Amino acid sequence: MKRTIMSLIGAAVALGAVTGVAAVAAPDGQRATPSEGASRRPVERSALLCPPPTSSEVGDTTYTAFTPEGTGGKAGTQGTAGLLPALSGKQPDGKGGPGGKGGPGGKGQQGAQAGADPVAPLKKAGTPVTATTDRADAPALAGTADGALGPGWTVQQTTSVAAGNGRGLLGLSCAAPDTDFWFPGVSTAKDRQDYIHLTNPDDTPAVVDLDLRGKDGPLKAASGENITVPPHSTVPVLLSTLTGTPAQDAALHVVAREGRVGASVQAADAKLGGDWLPAAADPAPGAVLPGIPADATGVHLVAVAPGKEDADLKVQLATPNGLITPAGLETLHVKSGMTASADLKDLTKGEAGSLVLTPADGSKAPVAVALRVVRGKGDKQEMAFIPATGPVDRRATVADNRDKGSTLSLVAPEKGKDAKVTVTASAGSGGGTPVSKTYTVKGGSTLAVEPPRPQGLKGSYALTVTPAAGSGPVHAARTLALPQGALPAFTVQTLPDDRGTVVVPTAGEDLGLLLK
């Protein structure tokens, strides 16, 4: 009898844990509200994966780790957070990763690096920690954060490449492992080298399928199925090796059939430099792409409709003064299973903006969307990517902001629904007193600001965005501009909700179950 009762209690607790995970994985934009008999609690553990930063001999990388305070758990020194290196595997055709050195790790080996020291380990919440490397064979990193350091843990990877193919500023918010990713905006054209980096954080192998879509549908892939990613290792795949058909505006679908992986695309253009293309928000009938710089000289949109129905999208630009329709592009039609693109040129006209896509003509078909943004002219051009991102539900954070060159973009996409947010700047171990500032974003507009900086700042700092209760929806992005001489090097990171809390149902004993 006692053993039976304990089994039932254990099942109830397990169900609660599953429900909590489901709350974390709720679709973007859907707030998980505690129901009767449930409570919202901080997550107990977070996982992040950072791909190999560069194979360039003239590249410098900074990792910045941060966990914001005030999640509801015990802040301070309790908990651990750090990243450990993973060695590189070989891609399916036996070729190495960028630079041709047998993969970004340069050795073509597999497995975790035993005995390695953690990278950017945190000591306490509220204080960013940085680490740097100039290694051309710097490996991928995988790590976890738990206790008070788990909720909202974020790591920014920023790489400056001085010369060569892919030169410029490459930035990435290291992502959590998952099983399904969409990357609209990839290319297999001759002037691009796009690598998908697959990193497995677990003790068992992951099996991954890669599916490329173009403007006419699926691109025939010779070796995109059954890619094995060994435990605690990373595998780079050059996308142009998957198909003999060059495609300028393609979309990549990554599916882990076994296990889970981290996935990010490193894109290098012969003329426009390089940057990371993160996965777009899950396909949905609409999309918001925040943070187009005011001085953008080129904006290129790529969308894919992964479902069985065509999608029709109303295209609008959220300017500082409201929503407008770009000249010559009122709607975008995306055929089922295919990509569609639009060259929006310099649509911001000197004012920062955000692209807002909404269903047109009753369309309900989901789409995944991303932008390629260019700054500069002639041979001094640099590109970055802005994938569609979900709203900041309760909190979002971006690390590695500098004393100069950081711009925070906030967009309230729905007309008539203003958004009110508090932005907190937290200094690293170099010193500085945290500072907070509150902004109101008019519904249907974009507000681009130079974010607050900690008083007495020395070094980089982190920004945390917290919407006010009852506020309208708000999306956010950070532009980091670090010029390299006359080259306007920059990168853009979106700020999705950090999902630092989950809804957990209350479990209890019900002895009446034993009588049924």
Identify whether 304 is part of a domain. Answer: yes
Per DSSP, the three-state class of 2 is helix
Q: How far apart are CA 235 and CA 227, in angstroms?
A: 9
178: left (phi over 0), alpha (psi -120 to 50) or beta: beta
| CA angle, 90 then 93 then 98, to 5° | 55
Return the minimum-mean-pLDDT range out of 98-107, 176-185, 233-242, 507-516: 98-107
Residues 186 and 310 in one domain: no
Average pLDDT over residues 265-288: 97
Structure tokens at 407: 């711009």
- Residue 428's pLDDT is 81
Residues 6+ apart with CB under 8 A from 3: none
- Residue 34's pLDDT is 56
Residues 291 and 197 in one domain: no
How far is CA 87 from each of CA 40, 173, 202, 432, rounded to the nearest angstrom? Answer: 38, 20, 13, 37
Say if residue 168's pLDDT is above 70: yes
Residues 507 and 414 in one domain: no
Q: How far apart are CA 96 and CA 63, in angstroms?
A: 24
Burial class (CB in 10 A: 0-12, 13-18, 19+), 12: middle
Decide which of 506 and 227 is more confident.
227
Identify whether 362 is part of a domain. Answer: yes
Host domain of residue 352: 287-498
- Residue 429's pLDDT is 72
| CA angle, 401 then 403 then 407, to 5° | 55
Q: What is the DSSP string of 223-241?
A: S-SSEEE-TTEEEEEEGGG
Q: What is the mean pLDDT of the chain?
A: 87
Query: How many domains, the chain?
Result: 3
Residues 243 and 114 in one domain: yes
| CA angle, 450 then 455 then 459, to 5° | 80
Decide which of 420 and 510 is more confident.
420
- Residue 278's pLDDT is 98
Q: 193: domain CATH number?
A: 2.60.290.11
Report the helix count and the strand count for the chain, using DSSP H and E. 1, 35
Residue 171 confidence class, pLDDT cut points 50, 70, 90: very high
Residues 68 and 110 in one domain: yes
21: left (phi over 0), alpha (psi -120 to 50) or beta: alpha
Residues 320 and 173 in one domain: no
Structure tokens at 45: 């553990």
Half-sphere exposure of 367 (CA within 13 A, CB side): 35
- Residue 511's pLDDT is 66
Output the 3-class SS for 351-363: CCEEEEEEECCCC
Q: Are strands 81-88 and 233-238 parallel, antiparallel or unpaired?
A: parallel
Per DSSP, the three-state class of 462 is strand
Residues 214 and 343 in one domain: no
Average pLDDT over residues 195-213: 97
- In percent, the amount of the chain with pLDDT more than 70 equals 83
Residue 27 confidence class, pLDDT cut points 50, 70, 90: very low
Q: What is the pLDDT of residues 360-396, one digit of tens each?
A: 988 999 999 999 999 999 999 999 999 999 999 999 9
Structure-derived torsion over alpha carbons of residues 99, 101, 104, 105, reported in degrees to the nearest 10: -150
CA 281, chain centre distance (Å): 9
Q: How far apart are CA 52 and CA 103, in angstroms?
A: 9
Residues 198 and 313 in one domain: no
Residue 376 forms beta bridges with which residues? 381
Residue 455 forms beta bridges with which residues? 433
Q: How far apart are CA 343 and CA 354, in angstroms?
A: 15
**For residue 515, what is the DSSP state?**
G
Residues 27 and 166 in one domain: no
Say if residue 48's pLDDT is above 90: yes
Identify whether 26 is part of a domain. Answer: yes
Decide which of 90 and 178 is more confident.
178
Average pLDDT over residues 320-324: 97
- Residue 70's pLDDT is 75
Residues 31 and 76 in one domain: no
- Residue 78's pLDDT is 81
Residues 300 and 216 in one domain: no
Identify whether 282 is part of a domain. Answer: no
Residue 430 forms beta bridges with which residues? none
Average pLDDT over residues 463-489: 97
Identify whether 487 is part of a domain. Answer: yes
Identify whether 95 is part of a domain. Answer: yes
Average pLDDT over residues 162-167: 92
Domain boundary among 223, 243, 277: 277
Identify whether 399 is part of a domain. Answer: yes
Average pLDDT over residues 206-228: 91
Structure tokens at 189: 């054209």
Residues 341 and 435 in one domain: yes
Return the minimum-mean-pLDDT range out of 104-113, 145-154, 230-239, 406-415: 104-113
294: phi then psi, degrees, rounded to nearest 5: -60, -35
Q: What is the pLDDT of residues 237-267, one digit of tens each?
A: 999 999 988 999 999 999 999 999 999 999 9
- Exposure string over 121-135, b if 16+ CB within 10 A, otherwise e: bbebbbbbbbbebeb
Q: What is the pLDDT of residues 393-450, one digit of tens each?
A: 999 999 999 989 999 999 999 999 999 999 999 998 777 899 999 999 999 999 999 9
Decide which of 10 and 331 is more confident.
331
pTM of the full structure: 0.87
- Residue 88's pLDDT is 65
- Residue 245's pLDDT is 85
